[in-house]
Homo-oligomer: A and B are copies of this chain.
Amino acid sequence: MASREVGIALLGVGIVGGAVARTITEQGDVIEARTGIRLVVRRALARSRERVVQAGLPPEVATTEIEEVVGDERVDVVVEAMGGEEPAATYLRRSLEAGKHVVTANKEALAKNFAELAAAARASGRALLFEASVGGGIPLMASLRQILADNRVTRIRGIVNGTTNYILTQMAERRTAYAEALREAQRLGYAEPDPTADVEGYDAAYKLAILASLAAGRHIRPEQVDRTGITGVTPEQVAEARARGGAIKLIAGAELDGEEWRLRVAPEFVPGDHLLAHVRLNFNAVEITGDRVGPVVLYGQGAGPLPTASAIVSDILDAARFGAALTPHIVPQMSRT
């Protein structure tokens, strides 16, 4: 089988971007043998050339200018792993307008700009793929796409934030208080020095907005999520839940109520006969309910450089092979609430 080269640009060469670079280097031959596609990193946008070299890339691919990425005809797929809404969202839009396929791990930029980015991708006939934005390496988007082919999805419920699940697991199994469990999570690198985005439920709300937008086919914005974090959860509540055979979990839930989607992130009691009660430590799990398949649950590591890079590389290959056919239809919503 004759191989073809697919040119990659990395926006951001931090932990995730670096893992993508290393995956392409280390797994390149295996991927080529399996798919006939040779992945070649042709640009890497980073603050310093040093970072690019540390990721094992040749120094000449390094750039600090987005123009050098979108203007490079040898770049077929732009991979964004910068995080944060801006400038990431602008770079994604400009890449699509320049005719590049786009793969992103950025839940915040996507959740806030989903309709605009999907429209830009469709207008230029390119792929917008984002498997790594929710649930790390869990094949959530691939599964949701398949289920949506002939199901109406009316309900999504999941544990989509590993940090808070780790803290709640420690509180339940080691009988520690919230503050102590948080410190332990920070020590292990599961929680950031400023843990707000995780423990106040912002991260979960971004992810829920993305999943709900796909199910609804229209842009559901993170501000529409009724959000409560875990900072108020007491050791007594956790112990009582455990005594009843269940667990307190930070549940991200979206439910179709008539024509309206109701979205909520909050600590909830999950009874022991439900699978979500048994999702421990920093694992994630999402239950998707379709009118024909019934409930489907997907479980795995929701974060970490290797699982996330794995999802990104899979998206790159899908973009190269199937292009715009995988780009979702997401219409803007009528009115903002």
Q: Which residues of A contact B (CB under 8 A)?
A: 23, 27, 30-31, 34-35, 131, 136-139, 142-143, 145-152, 273, 275, 277-280, 285, 290, 292-301, 304, 306-307, 309-311, 313-314, 317, 321-322, 325, 329
| 21 intermolecular pairs with C-beta atoms under 8 Å apart | A30-B152, A31-B149, A137-B147, A137-B293, A137-B296, A138-B296, A139-B146, A143-B143, A146-B314, A147-B310, A149-B317, A150-B314, A150-B317, A275-B279, A292-B310, A293-B300, A294-B301, A294-B307, A321-B325, A322-B322, A322-B325
In the assembled complex, the CB of A176 is this many whole angstroms from the nearest CB of chain B, namely 18
A325: nearest chain-B partner, CB-CB? B321
Q: Which residues of chain B are within 8 angstroms of A325 by Cβ–Cβ distance?
A: 321-322
Provide the bound-state CA to CA distance between A152 and B34, in Å.
Answer: 12
Using Cβ atoms and an 8 Å threshold, which residues of chain B touch A27? 150
| Interface pair A293/B298, CB less than 8 Å apart | no
A300 / chain B contacts, CB cutoff of 8 Å: 293-297
Q: Quote the shortest CB–CB distance from A254 to chain B (angstroms).
A: 18
For residue A141, which residue of chain B has the nearest CB? Answer: B146
Residue pair B296, A298 in contact (C-beta under 8 Å)? yes
CB nearest neighbor in B for A296: B300
Q: Give which listed residue, B147, B151, B290, B310, contacts A290 with CB less than 8 A.
A: B310
Distance in Å from the Cβ of A173 to the closest Cβ of chain B? 10
In the complex, the chain B residue whose C-beta lies closest to that of A39 is: B150
CA distance A285 to B306 in the complex (A): 24
Inter-chain CA distance A300–B296, complex, in Å, is 4
Q: A278-B278, A293-B301, A296-B298 are in contact. List 19 more A-B contacts (CB 8 A).
A: A137-B292, A138-B296, A139-B147, A143-B143, A143-B298, A150-B310, A150-B313, A150-B317, A275-B275, A275-B278, A285-B297, A292-B306, A293-B306, A293-B307, A294-B300, A295-B300, A297-B300, A298-B299, A321-B325
